[in-house]
Amino acid sequence: MPDTSEQAESQRAREVQRPTIVTMIVEDDDRVRDILTQWIQQAEGFTFAGAFSDVETALPEIAHKKPHVVVVDINLPGLSGIECVRQLKPLLPDTQFVMLTVYADSHHIFDALTAGATGYLVKSASRRAVIGALREVHGGGSPMSSGIARKVIQLVQQRRPGLKASAELSKRENDVLALLAQGYLYKEIADTLGIGTPTVDTYIRRIYEKLHVHSRAQAVAVYTNLK
């Protein structure tokens, strides 16, 4: 019969080795920042790496620590949250930025997504919604509160009449980009086009390079602006 102490030690070793979602926060409201910090610290599978009240202080720390996910408020003193994402995304293409804000208008949504944000949540979101969104964005999704998602759909629909294929991309790359813009996951794109998921990854990397973007949201923003 296996030694229970060895089993416990083995379990602890697996837990230590298990990768966690390294997360940071940029939020000037002390109460909101403290609540978010507590939620992340208590959530399973997360490593809290720091919180900041302004972009100027946050920029060098985030660039140095290279977290998996950063929660950013839009309305910050000094540089805005959107400018924070705009400066950091080219330096940290693998870091996902989730905007947390009271704003839910199309202007702020479009600016945030164009800057490189991957998710967009309102500050009234529950603990479960926020933690779920951070897990989702780390896993390749683009979480949005339902009201914001509705506005994004409306924004895309308003721009859809002017859409056409990008001359920068091949036919297959345009097909992939069109499905990305419709919210398809990588596997769903692969199934729809009858190709493998690794092939979809390759197409998307090429799309990013040709369009000079660093995220799905930026690629979709370019797509919605094609005339």
Place of tokens 């690794």: 198
- Give residue 20's pLDDT: 92
- Give residue 101's pLDDT: 81
DSSP 8-state assignment for residue 9:
H
Q: Domain residues of the chain, as ranges?
A: 4-154, 163-225
- Give residue 227's pLDDT: 41
Superfamily per CATH, domain 4-154: Response regulator (3.40.50.2300)
- Give residue 161's pLDDT: 45
- Give residue 134's pLDDT: 94
Q: What is the CATH architecture of 163-225?
A: Orthogonal Bundle (1.10)
Residues in contact with 207: Cβ distance below 8 Å, sequence separation at least 6, in sequence order: 169, 173, 176, 177, 180, 213, 219
Q: pLDDT digit of tens for each residue in the chain (227 aa)?
A: 445 555 556 555 554 456 799 999 999 999 999 999 999 999 999 999 999 999 999 999 999 999 999 999 998 989 999 999 999 998 998 899 999 887 666 667 778 877 888 888 888 889 999 999 999 888 887 787 766 666 665 665 555 444 455 677 888 998 888 888 777 888 888 888 999 988 998 898 888 888 877 777 777 777 766 54
pTM of the model: 0.65
Query: Which residues pair with residue 119 across a beta bridge?
Result: 98
Q: Which residues of 96-129 are buried (b: 16+ CB within 10 A; e: fewer)?
A: bbbbbbebbeeebbbbbbbbbbbbbbbbeeeeee
- Give residue 225's pLDDT: 65
Domain 4-154 matches domain 163-225 at the CATH topology level:
no
- Give residue 88's pLDDT: 94
Q: For residue 222, what are its two tokens?
A: 């370019």
- Give residue 1's pLDDT: 45
Euclidean distance between CA atoms 93 and 138, whole angstroms: 13
Alpha helical stretches, state H, the chain: 4-17, 30-42, 55-65, 81-88, 106-115, 127-138, 146-159, 171-181, 186-193, 197-211, 216-225
Give yes or no for a contact between 115 and 136, defined as CB atoms under 8 angstroms apart: no
Alpha helical stretches, state H, 89-196: 106-115, 127-138, 146-159, 171-181, 186-193
- Give residue 124's pLDDT: 85
Task: Tell me the residue type at 92.
Answer: L
